[in-house]
Structure 1
Amino acid sequence: MKNKFLCLSAAMMLVMVSCKEDKSTDSTESGAIAAKYEGTPMSDEWDAEIDGIVSKMTLEEKIGLLHGYSMFTNEGVEHLGIPEVHMADGPLGIREELERMSWAPLHLETDYATYYPAGGGLSATWNPEMAHTFGKSIGEEARAREKDVLLAPAFNIIRTPLGGRTFEYMTEDPFLNKSLVVPYVVGVQENNVAACIKHYAANNQETNRGTVDVLMDERTLREIYLPAFHDAVTKANAYSVMGAYNRFRGDYLCENPYMLQNILRDEWGFKGIVISDWDAVHSTKKALEAGTDLEMGTNKPSFEEFYFAKPLLAEVKAGKVSEAEVDKHAKRILKLLYNLKAMGKKEGRAKGSIATEAHFKDAYSIASESIILLKNSESLLPLNTNGLKSVAVIGANADKKHAQGGFGAGVKTKHEITPLAALKAKLPKSVTINYAEGYKTEFKPKKEMKFGDVTQEAKETVNDLDPKMLAEAVEAAKKSDVAILVVGANRDYETEASDRTDLTLPFGQQALISAVTKANPKTIVVFVAGSPYDLNQVEKENSTIVWNWYNGSESGNALVDVLLGNVNPSGKLPWTMPKRIEDSPAHATKSFPGGATEEYKEGILVGYRWFDTKNVAPLYPFGYGLSYTTFDFANAKTDKKEYGNDDTIKVTVEVKNTGKKDGKEVVQLYASKAESKVQRAAKELKGFNKVAVKSGSSQKVTIEVPVKELAYYNVASKKWVVEPGTYTFKLGNSSRDIKAEVSVTVK
């Protein structure tokens, strides 16, 4: 199957993408797209049956439901027909099967899975339909492996470019986050698999993540860090939530009554279960009564020593915790199992499928829409193969696979196409490929290392280029018509449990890029990475820059189809690329990485909000991405001039493709309000729509903005308030490239 899919012709690939384009052309209203994705609420219909089952359980059996009994399950009760809850990591695909009592893999032949694009790549599509495709596809794989809970998606706000999990998380913007998270969760749960949304909440750094106490004002919490969680619970109806490692205002997140009870259950009406991150529980009574339901992965000699195991049994027998409290959490576990059809009427539960050609196509579709053209000033792209005799392919990432690596969960897959393999398959046979590795991705041990500190997993990079490898790369570039440099990072360098120390390109790559470009000015620089880097010199010296991601099983095919012009790039940055780390808000305010506490001094001015409000020029702005064609915006207008609180504003604009290629553009709508009584960012994303437009044609795009989306959180009244007055909607294709404006009055 691998070879069959690799050898699909460019024409077949183009047909597949064209079908996607035609579909999105038909749907031009962002509000209509959003309305398609409403999750099924958790049902109460089995509550009486659940009460009866719990009444038959011993205290020990009920407690067994509430803690890990293997690495990824709790304990079932066989004589009552209660199965274990089976969980699986899944940010990049379904993790391979492990031994029950250890992290050692079982080395099976039945657990190969599809490797999906990381969260950064999915976010760069700016396409809710792709998010739904992702969720549905990975949900099918989870069911094929008989999982009940997928420990994904992870979508904490990207607060610092140095975050170790930036590649995995979504975006720096709460609106874009929630617009992608909702269809993702709905897609997963359509397969009778619970999505476990994570990490709740304010888990925005890996440095001291297990102990740091995050402090921020209430408005910042509500407007920036909670919206995606709110919509995942109230709109997508996520069935499970993962409590984060860090503290928030003094209490660990897994024993934080304000976050787990007051907000999650009382305000949002959450009916599912709260699962702790692995080793994130630090107490028995406090964590249980605060709202954690299932304790997983605690670092104890045995599962029976978890806080919710023998210690909980002892506290109930001592009268410190009531048995009614235990019953409450046990019933939540059973409600989850009934709603997933793991108990009760099991007919019709999804069977799923895994590592199929259909799923590889899903991965391809997402990857092909995520690739970002950062620069193309000499029009080297799309690559013209007419008369092309030779291509230098340089860089370790040209032939490196990224499904595994780093501290976090990877994917065991038989199918991962590298850029080099795709170039060999897709370039004309008459073209000679001169490959040179160029650099080594080497690390050396650090003398001192503290888990979770700002390190590279007890390693630091070797940044000295091997002279022989450099010479081979330069020689390959000199003797080739064009050079394709595939550089960037990898999943050992960008990894859970470690934030990066700076924005420097690792492994001596800047010197390699400069040398190759000097040897051959026709050099295309492709970055494979998930986080911002210092690209100032590359931007200055190079005419052609492409940004790829850890982009799944079909990454190489998607990238090469973009390079050859079979796919017109349409990806947009989901975060801001700064010129200097000091320009980013958490660093400009000197509030990262903190120590025992981390105060979010930038408040609501996260990401582009800071850059645009403070007039700090980024290297590449939020929402930025070029195309092989050009687009004009015209005739922007609203359906009315005045609106009330319960109204929905309809903003329309005509998008014309003024170039020679069919393409997709992301129309981005940012809201601004002058003379506000409260602090506001210069602009805030409040709507977007990705639309396919044929060359020479125009497409009318409608973006719906509920007036309530314009509200700010009033701390004094504890309510969302829409301030009356004039609002300006700025329409563009990045936060800095505004092409049209319209104003409305809110009464």
Structure 2
Amino acid sequence: MAYEAQIDSLINLMTLEEKINMLHGTSSFTSGGVERLGIPELTMSDGPHGVRPEHGRDWSLDNAGNDSSTYLPTGIALAATWNPDLGYEYGAVLGREAKARGKDVILGPGINIMRTPLNGRNFEYLSEDPHLVSRMVVGYIKGVQDQGIAACVKHFAANNQEIKRAEVNVEMSERALRELYLPGFKAAVEEADVLTVMGAYNKFRGQYATHNEYLVNNILKGEWGFKGLVMSDWGAVQNTMEAALYGNDIEMGTDLLQMPNIDYNKFLMADTLLSLVKSGQVDQKLIDDKVRRILRVMFSTNMINGSRSDGALSTKPHQQTALKVAEEALVLLKNEKNLLPLNKASVKSIAVIGANATRKQGMGGGSSQVRSPYEVTPLDGIKRLAGNGVAITYAPGFEVTREEKANQQLIDEAVKAAKGAEVVVYVGGWTHGYTDNWDGGAFDAEGADKPNMNLPFAQDQLLDAVLKANPRTVVVLIGGGPLDMSRWESRASSILQAWYPGMEGGTAIANVLFGEVNPSGKLPVTFPKKLQDAPAHALGEYPGDKDTVNVHYREDIFVGYRYHDTYKVAPQFGFGHGLSYTTFGYSNLKAAKNGEGVAVTLTVKNTGKAAGAEVVQLYVKDTEAAVKRPEKELKSFSKIFLKPGESKEVSVNLPKEAFQYFDEAKMQWVLEPGSFIIMAGSSSQDIRQSAEISL
């Protein structure tokens, strides 16, 4: 690296006490600097989809009216765009806004694999599929770091549930680790050159992940050659000696009960570590390595001997990026009777029903709270776009309360509104919490998992009544993942998955409902029909053994569609699924050897009457293998935009890695000679073309 000589000279000038001070928090969101040598504190900020409104040093909100940032759609929504270019734009917004708020590290992206639909942080994460995660994470990180701000990919590794997250010990096969749970982190390091990595709370094979010898020293810093810094999640360091030896570089954490009287010198990597070095139990070379990694991040982000360009907070272009991501993220799950798009010239009355139509979501979810200057709700968006020519009524239908009881009066009002309108737009689904602020007990939030996949607040009962009152009902779902639709899905002709769509979410929803935008989102996660159909619950273990707090990932590599396809369990909606207001034809799929890989070409044509975008998904099937392999695995995808009647040739080179599996006996990746089938489809459940090739 270009700064190594300067870094060495700085380390040589430091006292041991100054070095140790750099290895732990000095406030809620800073770690130590050395003022006399011109080394500043390192300032960090959540979150993965918007710069959080905390003061620089503590958890309190900054209250300046102009200190609001762009609330981007959450991680699962970004992944639903299947558009890595948008991932870069998304990251660039975060980088510029972090810079404007004086931050050095943005604590994102979160990329843990969606193992169970119940995980409270699925809304922050990207996908159940490692290839989709890998492609989206690279764009995001480069977008952030090209602004001169460090990204922090998290949570390394196997942090797949929030319940008991600081206690669970994850046990999984080496193959599952290598094939599913590590590829996104590997891409972040080797392709995106991420500057920082955050360790996880959980244990992995008996040792805490944030100072895990195998994960951090052997794989991250050893095999992958990671040169940046590893920081703990807040309060995740559990052992000073292990932290010293096994690769944790900065200990962060805050005991909210002790604020503001926290003695940061009592952190495990503060005075305790200092005494271990002085007594000769810890080699000072280990301390120097940690300091060196921190200084590399500082030099790479122009914190030392450099200057940063100006950042910007919630500008019009940033808000347009939020809108664009929201529009491309919306997934049209169902549109049987072509109820959508609505025609604002002919529709005279719309009943908007559901508390999520007016609920603002930005300040929910835990550490990913974002305070934005405005948030367009779905009702706002519909009213603005429909204009004065459409009569719009609103009925909440349900209350967001802890009791989750049906309110018959609200249901009756909703039914009356539904009967009196030509069309109903129902806006329901999940919420981040019971209140506008995170209270630690919620559905899509840090620190808690969902109790089940059922619609909360008795919405099944409400939807049942609304659909009976008016079958011309469009169901719009807010939330961070799958839910059980079994009570009403067959009677709902149109369903739109909106995720948590950010500050321009209502605008995006209205644009899709009225056909101003053709939906192009695809599911980044399988929607099972019921919880028992999810592999972690059908084959694996969750939330863990009651006595030992071990969680055995017995489903192994069969997560998401890999399980549904291989074990022939039909999903409600398959991975990669998403409809359009136009249609696409696939033809001329060809596959030929190209060096060690395979060159694939096919033609896609817009066969409908509207301009639109299709995500062409390439899956690979190994016809005969020495180990059990999934029915198919995603290995490439391309999002293409086509006018009516327009055709494009899609060309992809699948590298040899696309055909390999991890051999646990050899502890290496293996390409087993034989026949492979390459499949091109609009989803994992909708394969349009296939070709066989021998390797």
TM-score bucket of the superposed structures, by smaller chain: over 0.9
**Correspondence for 1:326:** 287
The DSSP-based 3-state class of the residue aligned with 2:648 is strand
Matches within 5 A, 1:151-550: 151-297=107-253, 299=255, 301-344=262-305, 346-347=306-307, 349-443=308-402, 462-492=403-433, 493-550=443-500
Q: 1:10 maps to which residue? A: none
Moved more, 110-119 or 694-703: 694-703
Alpha carbons 2:622, 2:659 under 8 Å: kept: no
Work out the CA distance in 2 between the residues paired with 1:434 and 1:330: 61
Query: Does the CA-based 8 Å contact 2:540-2:552 persist in structure 1?
Result: no
1:722 and 2:671 correspond: yes
Q: 2:75 aligns to what?
A: 119
Distance apart, 1:407 and its partner CA: 2.9
The equivalent of 2:40 in structure 1 is 83
Q: Is the 8 A contact 2:679 2:688 kept in 1?
A: yes
Deviation at 1:531, TM superposition (A): 1.4
Question: Residue 262 of structure 1: CA displacement?
Answer: 0.6
Matched, 1:701 2:650: yes
SS at match of 1:537: coil
Once the two structures are aligned, what percentage of the paired residues are identical? Answer: 46
Distance in 2, Cα, partners of 1:378 & 1:59: 71
Shift of 1:694: 1.1
**Measured at CA, do residues 48 and 590 of structure 1 come closer, stay the same or move farther in structure 2, by a change above 3 Å?**
closer
In the alignment, structure 1 residue 685 sits paired with structure 2 residue 634? yes
SS at match of 2:488: helix
Deviations 1:98-121 (A, max 9, x none): 362x42223233420000010110
Q: Structure 2 CA distance, aligned partners of 1:549 and 1:155?
A: 17
SS of the residue 1:650 aligns to: strand
Please point out which of 502, 509, 515 is paired with 1:565.
515
Inter-partner Cα distance in structure 2 for 1:350 and 1:729? 46
1:370-428 CA deviation, whole Å, 9 max, x = no partner? 10111111111000122322110111111111101133330011121111111111103
Query: What is the rounded CA distance, in whole Å, between the counterparts of 1:699 and 1:326 in structure 2?
Result: 55
Q: Which residue of 2 aligns with 1:23?
A: none
Q: How does 1:567-586 map to 2 (within 5 A)?
A: 567-586=517-536
Alignment-derived partner of residue 437 in structure 2: none
Deviation at 1:202, TM superposition (A): 0.7
Contact 1:281 / 1:298 at 8 angstroms: preserved in 2?
A: no
SS of 2:27's equivalent? coil
Report the Cα offset of residue 590 of structure 1. 4.5
The whole-number CA distance in structure 2 between the counterparts of 1:385 and 1:236 is 45
What 5-or-longer segments of structure 2 have no aligned partner? Answer: 434-442
Cα pair 1:298 1:306 within 8 Å, conserved: no
* Contact 2:152/2:197 (8 A) holds in 1: yes
Per-residue deviation, residues 23-66 of structure 1 (Å, max 9, x unmatched):
xxxxxxxxxxxxxxxxxxxxx22222212111221111111100
Q: Is the 8 A contact 2:114 2:160 kept in 1?
A: yes
Kept in 1: contact 2:430–2:478 (CA 8 A): yes
Corresponding residue for residue 18 of structure 1: none
Contact 1:280 1:298 in 2 (8 A): no
Tell me the SS of whatever aligns to 2:634.
strand
1:590-648: CA deviation from partner (whole Å, max 9, x where unpaired): 5111131011101111110000000110010000011111111111112x2x45xx533
- On the 8 A contact 2:43/2:56 being kept in 1, the answer is no
Whether contact under 8 Å (2:95, 2:145) holds in the other structure is yes
- Is this contact kept in 2: 1:238–1:272, CA < 8 A? yes
Contact 2:29–2:56 at 8 Å: present in 1 too? no
2:478, 2:500 within 8 Å by CA — same for their partners in 1? yes
- Is the contact between residue 327 and residue 517 of structure 2 (CA under 8 Å) also seen in structure 1? yes
Q: Quote the offset at 1:715 in angstroms.
A: 1.7
Code of the residue aligned with 2:467 in structure 1: it is T
**Other-structure match for 1:733:** 682
Give me the whole-angstrom Cα distance separating, in 1, the residues matched to 2:100 and 2:597. Answer: 41
Question: Cα deviations across residues 518-547 of structure 1 (Å, max 9, x unaligned)?
Answer: 111111111111111001222111111111
Q: Which runs of 5+ in 1 are unaligned?
A: 1-43, 444-461
Range moving further from structure 2, 265-274 or 428-437: 428-437
SS of 1:502 mapped into structure 2 = coil
Task: Using the TM superposition, give the Cα deviation of residue 208 of structure 1 relative to its aligned residue in structure 2, in angstroms.
Answer: 0.8
SS at match of 1:552: coil
- Partners of 1:99 and 1:77 in 2: CA distance: 18
CA distance in 2, matches of 1:618, 1:495: 25
The 1-side partners of 2:113 and 2:637 are apart by 19
Q: After superposition, what is the alpha-carbon deviation per residue over 1:329-385, rounded to whole angstroms, capped at 9, x for unaligned?
A: 1121112111111112x14x3322111000000011111001011111111100012
Partner residue in 1 for 2:10: 53
Greater displacement, 414-423 / 224-233 = 414-423
Structure 1 distance, partners of 2:461, 2:175, is: 45
Structure 2 residue corresponding to 1:636, chosen from 589, 594, 607: 589
Secondary structure of the residue aligned to 2:683 is coil
Tell me, in whole angstroms, the C-alpha distance in 1 between the residues paired with 2:424 and 2:31: 53
- Provide the aligned C-alpha RMSD in A: 1.3
CA distance in 1, matches of 2:33, 2:602: 56
Whether contact under 8 Å (1:97, 1:108) holds in the other structure is no
Shift of 1:700: 1.3
Q: Distance in 2 between matches of 1:316 and 1:108?
A: 44
**Cα offset for 1:502?**
1.0
CA–CA separation in structure 2 for the residues paired with 1:255 and 1:357: 42
Q: Structure 1 counterpart of 2:638, which letter?
A: N
Specify the code of the residue in structure 2 equivalent to 1:385.
K
Aligned to 2:579: 626
* TM-score normalised to structure 1 length: 0.89
3-state SS of paired residue (1:598): strand
Amino acid at match of 1:721: V
Contact kept? 2:471, 2:491, Cα under 8 Å? no
Is 1:133 the counterpart of 2:89? The answer is yes
Distance 2:153 2:99 in 1: 18
- 1-structure distance, mates of 2:225, 2:278: 31
CA deviation vs aligned residue, 1:111-155 (integer Å, no higher than 9, x gap)? 200000101100100111111111111111111112111100001
Matched residue, 1:25: none
In the TM superposition, what is the alpha-carbon distance from 1:709 to its structure 2 partner? 2.1
CA distance in 2, matches of 1:687, 1:99: 41
Q: Is the 8 A contact 2:540 2:553 kept in 1?
A: no
Q: Is the 8 A contact 1:629 1:663 kept in 2?
A: yes
Amino acid at match of 2:539: T
In structure 2, the partner of 1:651 is 600
SS in 1 for 2:198: strand
SS in 2 for 1:733: strand
- Partner amino acid for 1:491? H
Alpha-carbon displacement from aligned partner over 1:171-194 (angstroms, at most 9, x marks no partner): 000001001001111111001111
Task: Supply the distance in 1 between the matched residues of 2:559 and 2:56 (Cα, whole angstroms).
Answer: 42
